[in-house]
Chain A
Amino acid sequence: MPPRAIPAWPIDRFQASTHCPKTMEIDFQNVRQSMISGIPHMAAVGLELISMDESGLVGMVPHRPEFVGDPDTGVVHGGIVTVLLDSLSGMCIVPVLNEMMVVATLDLRIDYLKPAAPRQDIFAQVHCYKTTRNIAFTRGVAYQSDINDPIAHATGSFMLTRPEKTEAVGAAGT
Protein backbone atom coordinates (compact mmCIF):
# COMPACT_ATOMS: atom_id res chain seq x y z
CA MET A 1 0.00 0.00 0.00
CA PRO A 2 1.47 3.40 -0.95
CA PRO A 3 2.10 5.77 1.96
CA ARG A 4 -0.66 8.33 2.30
CA ALA A 5 0.09 11.99 2.83
CA ILE A 6 -0.82 12.91 6.39
CA PRO A 7 -1.84 16.52 6.99
CA ALA A 8 0.52 18.46 9.20
CA TRP A 9 -0.47 18.81 12.82
CA PRO A 10 -2.37 22.13 12.67
CA ILE A 11 -0.77 23.87 15.61
CA ASP A 12 -0.53 27.18 13.75
CA ARG A 13 -4.33 27.36 13.51
CA PHE A 14 -4.72 27.30 17.26
CA GLN A 15 -1.88 29.31 18.68
CA ALA A 16 -2.37 29.26 22.40
CA SER A 17 -1.50 32.93 22.65
CA THR A 18 -4.48 34.06 20.53
CA HIS A 19 -7.03 32.30 22.72
CA CYS A 20 -5.37 32.47 26.12
CA PRO A 21 -4.03 35.51 27.99
CA LYS A 22 -0.46 34.22 28.53
CA THR A 23 0.98 36.67 30.98
CA MET A 24 2.80 34.43 33.45
CA GLU A 25 6.52 34.13 33.08
CA ILE A 26 7.68 30.57 33.71
CA ASP A 27 11.23 29.58 34.47
CA PHE A 28 11.38 26.53 32.22
CA GLN A 29 14.63 25.12 33.61
CA ASN A 30 13.22 25.41 37.13
CA VAL A 31 9.96 23.66 36.16
CA ARG A 32 11.94 20.96 34.42
CA GLN A 33 14.18 20.29 37.40
CA SER A 34 11.48 20.47 40.09
CA MET A 35 9.24 18.16 38.11
CA ILE A 36 11.85 15.46 37.84
CA SER A 37 12.90 15.61 41.46
CA GLY A 38 9.55 16.56 43.01
CA ILE A 39 6.98 14.30 41.38
CA PRO A 40 7.62 10.63 42.13
CA HIS A 41 5.69 9.13 39.22
CA MET A 42 7.30 11.38 36.63
CA ALA A 43 10.69 10.44 38.04
CA ALA A 44 9.70 6.76 37.99
CA VAL A 45 8.82 6.78 34.28
CA GLY A 46 11.84 9.00 33.50
CA LEU A 47 9.67 11.73 31.95
CA GLU A 48 11.69 14.63 30.56
CA LEU A 49 10.59 18.07 29.47
CA ILE A 50 12.31 19.13 26.25
CA SER A 51 10.90 22.52 25.33
CA MET A 52 8.10 24.93 26.09
CA ASP A 53 6.91 27.79 23.87
CA GLU A 54 3.68 29.14 22.37
CA SER A 55 3.27 26.03 20.21
CA GLY A 56 3.13 23.90 23.33
CA LEU A 57 5.07 21.72 25.67
CA VAL A 58 7.25 18.91 24.37
CA GLY A 59 8.24 15.98 26.57
CA MET A 60 9.53 12.44 26.31
CA VAL A 61 9.36 9.08 28.06
CA PRO A 62 12.33 6.82 27.36
CA HIS A 63 11.80 3.23 26.30
CA ARG A 64 12.22 0.70 29.12
CA PRO A 65 11.60 -3.05 29.03
CA GLU A 66 9.25 -2.81 32.04
CA PHE A 67 6.84 -0.57 30.09
CA VAL A 68 6.04 -3.28 27.53
CA GLY A 69 2.33 -4.11 27.32
CA ASP A 70 2.42 -6.82 24.67
CA PRO A 71 5.33 -9.22 25.21
CA ASP A 72 4.73 -10.79 21.78
CA THR A 73 5.53 -7.59 19.91
CA GLY A 74 7.50 -5.59 22.50
CA VAL A 75 5.11 -2.65 22.09
CA VAL A 76 4.79 -0.29 25.05
CA HIS A 77 1.54 -0.40 27.08
CA GLY A 78 -0.92 2.41 26.37
CA GLY A 79 -0.70 3.40 30.03
CA ILE A 80 2.74 4.93 29.48
CA VAL A 81 1.34 7.05 26.65
CA THR A 82 -1.48 8.07 29.02
CA VAL A 83 1.00 9.11 31.72
CA LEU A 84 3.01 11.20 29.24
CA LEU A 85 -0.03 12.91 27.67
CA ASP A 86 -1.77 13.48 31.03
CA SER A 87 1.37 15.03 32.54
CA LEU A 88 2.04 17.38 29.64
CA SER A 89 -1.64 18.32 29.26
CA GLY A 90 -1.83 19.50 32.86
CA MET A 91 1.52 21.30 32.74
CA CYS A 92 1.01 23.14 29.45
CA ILE A 93 -1.85 25.13 31.00
CA VAL A 94 0.14 26.94 33.68
CA PRO A 95 2.15 29.21 31.33
CA VAL A 96 -0.99 30.57 29.62
CA LEU A 97 -2.76 31.61 32.83
CA ASN A 98 -2.92 35.14 34.28
CA GLU A 99 -2.24 33.93 37.78
CA MET A 100 -1.25 30.78 39.60
CA MET A 101 -4.19 28.38 39.63
CA VAL A 102 -4.63 24.79 40.73
CA VAL A 103 -5.25 22.58 37.70
CA ALA A 104 -7.37 19.43 38.15
CA THR A 105 -8.18 17.07 35.27
CA LEU A 106 -11.86 16.72 34.41
CA ASP A 107 -11.38 14.32 31.56
CA LEU A 108 -8.82 13.08 29.12
CA ARG A 109 -9.54 11.22 25.90
CA ILE A 110 -6.83 9.35 24.08
CA ASP A 111 -7.17 7.90 20.60
CA TYR A 112 -4.54 5.32 19.75
CA LEU A 113 -3.84 6.01 16.09
CA LYS A 114 -1.31 3.31 15.36
CA PRO A 115 0.86 0.86 17.31
CA ALA A 116 4.02 2.32 18.81
CA ALA A 117 7.24 0.97 17.31
CA PRO A 118 8.99 -1.29 19.82
CA ARG A 119 12.15 -0.16 21.65
CA GLN A 120 11.78 3.54 20.81
CA ASP A 121 11.30 6.55 23.06
CA ILE A 122 7.90 8.25 22.97
CA PHE A 123 7.55 12.02 22.57
CA ALA A 124 4.52 14.24 22.98
CA GLN A 125 3.62 17.81 22.14
CA VAL A 126 0.61 19.25 23.93
CA HIS A 127 -0.84 22.76 24.05
CA CYS A 128 -3.64 24.64 25.74
CA TYR A 129 -5.80 26.16 22.99
CA LYS A 130 -8.49 27.82 25.12
CA THR A 131 -9.04 28.94 28.68
CA THR A 132 -12.17 30.32 30.33
CA ARG A 133 -12.57 31.57 33.92
CA ASN A 134 -12.91 28.02 35.23
CA ILE A 135 -11.87 25.61 32.50
CA ALA A 136 -8.84 24.99 30.28
CA PHE A 137 -8.90 22.91 27.10
CA THR A 138 -5.87 21.09 25.75
CA ARG A 139 -4.91 18.85 22.91
CA GLY A 140 -1.81 17.12 21.74
CA VAL A 141 -0.17 14.18 20.09
CA ALA A 142 2.28 11.45 21.03
CA TYR A 143 4.78 10.37 18.41
CA GLN A 144 8.08 8.59 17.87
CA SER A 145 10.11 9.54 14.80
CA ASP A 146 7.66 11.93 13.12
CA ILE A 147 5.18 14.34 14.74
CA ASN A 148 3.11 14.28 11.54
CA ASP A 149 2.62 10.55 11.91
CA PRO A 150 1.48 10.40 15.55
CA ILE A 151 0.80 7.23 17.53
CA ALA A 152 -1.86 8.86 19.73
CA HIS A 153 -3.99 11.98 19.97
CA ALA A 154 -5.27 13.46 23.24
CA THR A 155 -7.87 16.03 24.21
CA GLY A 156 -8.31 17.15 27.78
CA SER A 157 -10.39 19.51 29.87
CA PHE A 158 -9.26 20.84 33.23
CA MET A 159 -10.87 22.67 36.14
CA LEU A 160 -9.06 25.83 37.25
CA THR A 161 -9.25 26.84 40.92
CA ARG A 162 -7.60 29.70 42.81
CA PRO A 163 -5.24 28.27 45.44
CA GLU A 164 -6.99 29.88 48.48
CA LYS A 165 -10.33 28.41 47.36
CA THR A 166 -8.75 24.98 47.05
CA GLU A 167 -7.50 25.04 50.61
CA ALA A 168 -11.01 25.84 51.82
CA VAL A 169 -12.50 22.96 49.85
CA GLY A 170 -9.77 20.59 50.93
CA ALA A 171 -8.55 19.16 47.64
CA ALA A 172 -8.44 19.77 43.95
CA GLY A 173 -10.94 17.84 41.91
CA THR A 174 -13.59 17.43 44.59
Chain B
Amino acid sequence: MNGSRRRGTSIADGISAARQSGDLQPLVAAVPYFRWLGLRIDRQGEELITVMPFQDMLIGNPMLPALHGGTTGAFLESAAMISLIGAMATPKMPKIINITIEYLRPGRAMDSYATGIVTKLGRRVANVRAYAWQQDRDKLIATASTHFMMADASGS
Protein backbone atom coordinates (compact mmCIF):
# COMPACT_ATOMS: atom_id res chain seq x y z
CA MET B 1 0.00 0.00 0.00
CA ASN B 2 2.78 2.32 1.03
CA GLY B 3 4.68 1.83 -2.21
CA SER B 4 1.68 2.44 -4.43
CA ARG B 5 0.76 5.47 -2.38
CA ARG B 6 4.22 6.94 -2.89
CA ARG B 7 3.96 6.39 -6.64
CA GLY B 8 0.47 7.90 -6.51
CA THR B 9 1.86 11.07 -5.02
CA SER B 10 4.50 11.31 -7.71
CA ILE B 11 2.05 11.42 -10.63
CA ALA B 12 -0.01 14.07 -8.81
CA ASP B 13 3.24 16.00 -8.24
CA GLY B 14 4.03 15.59 -11.93
CA ILE B 15 0.68 17.03 -12.94
CA SER B 16 1.06 19.77 -10.34
CA ALA B 17 4.54 20.75 -11.54
CA ALA B 18 3.41 20.60 -15.15
CA ARG B 19 0.51 22.94 -14.43
CA GLN B 20 2.60 25.43 -12.49
CA SER B 21 5.27 25.69 -15.16
CA GLY B 22 2.65 25.67 -17.93
CA ASP B 23 4.57 22.82 -19.51
CA LEU B 24 2.70 19.52 -19.64
CA GLN B 25 5.58 17.64 -21.27
CA PRO B 26 6.67 16.01 -17.94
CA LEU B 27 3.17 14.56 -17.67
CA VAL B 28 3.49 12.99 -21.12
CA ALA B 29 6.88 11.60 -20.09
CA ALA B 30 5.29 10.01 -16.99
CA VAL B 31 2.73 7.99 -19.00
CA PRO B 32 4.30 5.02 -20.80
CA TYR B 33 1.59 4.84 -23.50
CA PHE B 34 2.00 8.55 -24.37
CA ARG B 35 5.76 7.96 -24.68
CA TRP B 36 5.17 4.91 -26.89
CA LEU B 37 2.99 6.99 -29.24
CA GLY B 38 5.72 9.68 -29.18
CA LEU B 39 3.24 12.38 -28.10
CA ARG B 40 4.43 15.90 -27.39
CA ILE B 41 2.59 19.02 -26.37
CA ASP B 42 2.72 22.32 -28.16
CA ARG B 43 1.20 25.18 -26.19
CA GLN B 44 -0.12 27.95 -28.39
CA GLY B 45 -1.38 30.71 -26.12
CA GLU B 46 -4.30 29.26 -24.19
CA GLU B 47 -4.55 26.25 -26.42
CA LEU B 48 -2.85 22.91 -25.78
CA ILE B 49 -2.12 21.09 -29.00
CA THR B 50 -1.10 17.45 -28.74
CA VAL B 51 1.20 16.28 -31.53
CA MET B 52 1.54 12.67 -32.67
CA PRO B 53 4.62 12.55 -34.93
CA PHE B 54 4.30 10.07 -37.76
CA GLN B 55 5.84 6.63 -37.24
CA ASP B 56 5.60 3.64 -39.58
CA MET B 57 4.12 1.54 -36.79
CA LEU B 58 1.01 3.78 -36.69
CA ILE B 59 -0.09 2.60 -40.15
CA GLY B 60 -3.29 0.55 -40.31
CA ASN B 61 -3.76 0.49 -44.08
CA PRO B 62 -0.48 0.09 -45.98
CA MET B 63 -2.24 0.39 -49.38
CA LEU B 64 -3.41 4.02 -49.01
CA PRO B 65 -1.33 4.40 -46.72
CA ALA B 66 -3.44 5.53 -43.76
CA LEU B 67 -3.15 5.66 -39.99
CA HIS B 68 -4.85 2.88 -38.04
CA GLY B 69 -8.31 4.04 -36.88
CA GLY B 70 -7.56 2.78 -33.41
CA THR B 71 -4.46 4.97 -33.11
CA THR B 72 -6.49 7.99 -34.23
CA GLY B 73 -9.03 7.15 -31.51
CA ALA B 74 -6.30 6.66 -28.91
CA PHE B 75 -4.71 9.96 -29.97
CA LEU B 76 -8.04 11.84 -29.60
CA GLU B 77 -8.59 10.27 -26.18
CA SER B 78 -5.09 11.32 -25.11
CA ALA B 79 -5.52 14.87 -26.44
CA ALA B 80 -8.89 15.20 -24.66
CA MET B 81 -7.31 14.04 -21.40
CA ILE B 82 -4.31 16.38 -21.75
CA SER B 83 -6.54 19.40 -22.48
CA LEU B 84 -8.72 18.48 -19.51
CA ILE B 85 -5.73 18.26 -17.14
CA GLY B 86 -4.68 21.68 -18.46
CA ALA B 87 -8.09 23.10 -17.54
CA MET B 88 -8.47 21.48 -14.10
CA ALA B 89 -8.00 23.41 -10.88
CA THR B 90 -6.40 20.54 -8.97
CA PRO B 91 -3.85 17.96 -10.11
CA LYS B 92 -5.73 14.70 -10.60
CA MET B 93 -5.73 12.01 -13.24
CA PRO B 94 -9.20 11.99 -14.84
CA LYS B 95 -10.66 8.58 -15.75
CA ILE B 96 -12.36 8.04 -19.07
CA ILE B 97 -16.03 6.97 -18.96
CA ASN B 98 -16.70 6.80 -22.68
CA ILE B 99 -15.60 8.08 -26.06
CA THR B 100 -17.39 8.37 -29.40
CA ILE B 101 -15.00 8.74 -32.31
CA GLU B 102 -16.23 10.04 -35.67
CA TYR B 103 -13.94 9.32 -38.58
CA LEU B 104 -14.03 12.03 -41.25
CA ARG B 105 -11.03 11.34 -43.51
CA PRO B 106 -8.24 8.80 -43.63
CA GLY B 107 -5.26 9.91 -41.55
CA ARG B 108 -2.29 10.16 -43.91
CA ALA B 109 1.29 9.10 -43.26
CA MET B 110 2.26 12.41 -41.65
CA ASP B 111 2.24 14.17 -38.26
CA SER B 112 -1.15 14.61 -36.60
CA TYR B 113 -2.40 17.34 -34.29
CA ALA B 114 -5.30 17.38 -31.85
CA THR B 115 -6.82 19.62 -29.26
CA GLY B 116 -9.59 19.17 -26.73
CA ILE B 117 -12.24 21.71 -25.80
CA VAL B 118 -13.64 21.23 -22.32
CA THR B 119 -17.34 21.84 -22.96
CA LYS B 120 -18.26 21.30 -19.32
CA LEU B 121 -16.02 20.96 -16.31
CA GLY B 122 -18.30 19.58 -13.64
CA ARG B 123 -17.45 18.53 -10.11
CA ARG B 124 -17.86 14.81 -10.88
CA VAL B 125 -17.90 14.60 -14.67
CA ALA B 126 -16.23 16.58 -17.45
CA ASN B 127 -17.28 16.67 -21.11
CA VAL B 128 -14.49 17.19 -23.64
CA ARG B 129 -14.73 17.47 -27.44
CA ALA B 130 -11.53 16.62 -29.30
CA TYR B 131 -10.53 17.47 -32.86
CA ALA B 132 -7.71 15.97 -34.94
CA TRP B 133 -6.18 17.26 -38.15
CA GLN B 134 -2.99 17.01 -40.18
CA GLN B 135 -1.52 19.72 -42.42
CA ASP B 136 -4.77 21.67 -42.79
CA ARG B 137 -6.67 22.51 -39.65
CA ASP B 138 -9.86 23.08 -41.64
CA LYS B 139 -9.78 19.47 -42.81
CA LEU B 140 -10.36 17.44 -39.67
CA ILE B 141 -9.50 13.75 -39.91
CA ALA B 142 -11.57 12.77 -36.87
CA THR B 143 -13.45 14.19 -33.90
CA ALA B 144 -14.43 12.66 -30.59
CA SER B 145 -16.76 13.42 -27.73
CA THR B 146 -15.68 12.11 -24.36
CA HIS B 147 -16.82 11.94 -20.75
CA PHE B 148 -14.31 11.80 -17.91
CA MET B 149 -14.86 11.03 -14.24
CA MET B 150 -12.92 13.48 -12.11
CA ALA B 151 -10.60 11.28 -10.07
CA ASP B 152 -11.62 11.79 -6.45
CA ALA B 153 -15.40 12.16 -6.76
CA SER B 154 -16.66 10.06 -3.81
CA GLY B 155 -13.41 8.14 -3.83
CA SER B 156 -13.94 6.12 -7.01
B partners with A:
yes
Partner of A108, one of B34, B61, B62, B100: B100
| CB interface residues, A 56-78, toward B, < 8 Å | 65-73, 76-78
Contacts of A109 in B (CB 8 A): 98-101
A26 touches B (CB below 8 Å): no
Residues of A in contact (CB 8 Å), total: 42
| CB interface residues, B 1-32, toward A, < 8 Å | 4, 7-8, 10-11, 30-32
Q: Give the CA-CA distance A37 to B30 in the complex, in Å.
A: 31
Q: Which residue of A lies closest to B32 (CB)?
A: A68
Q: Is A41 within 8 A of B98, CB to CB?
A: no
The interface-forming segment of A9-17, A83-91, A92-100, A129-137 is A83-91
Partner of B98, one of A83, A105, A110, A115: A110
Q: Is A82 within 8 A of B106, CB to CB?
A: no
- A72-B7, A79-B33 as given contacts; A42 in contact with B68, CB under 8 Å: yes
Q: Give the CA-CA distance A87 to B61 in the complex, in Å.
A: 11
A44 touches B (CB below 8 Å): yes
Q: Give the CA-CA distance A157 to B102 in the complex, in Å.
A: 10
Interface residues of A (CB under 8 A from B): 38-44, 65-73, 76-80, 82-87, 90, 104-112, 115, 171-174
Q: Would you list 30 pairs from A and B whose C-beta atoms are within 8 A, ordered by A residue?
A: A38-B62, A39-B61, A39-B62, A40-B59, A41-B67, A41-B68, A44-B58, A66-B33, A66-B36, A68-B32, A69-B32, A69-B33, A72-B4, A72-B7, A77-B33, A79-B77, A83-B68, A86-B68, A87-B60, A87-B68, A107-B103, A108-B69, A110-B73, A111-B97, A112-B97, A171-B106, A172-B61, A172-B106, A173-B104, A174-B105
New contact pairs (15) apart from A39-B59, A70-B93, CB-CB < 8 Å: A39-B60, A43-B57, A66-B32, A69-B33, A71-B7, A71-B30, A72-B4, A77-B33, A79-B71, A83-B73, A87-B70, A104-B103, A108-B101, A110-B98, A112-B97
Closest 4 CB pairs of A and B: A79-B74, A83-B70, A77-B33, A41-B68
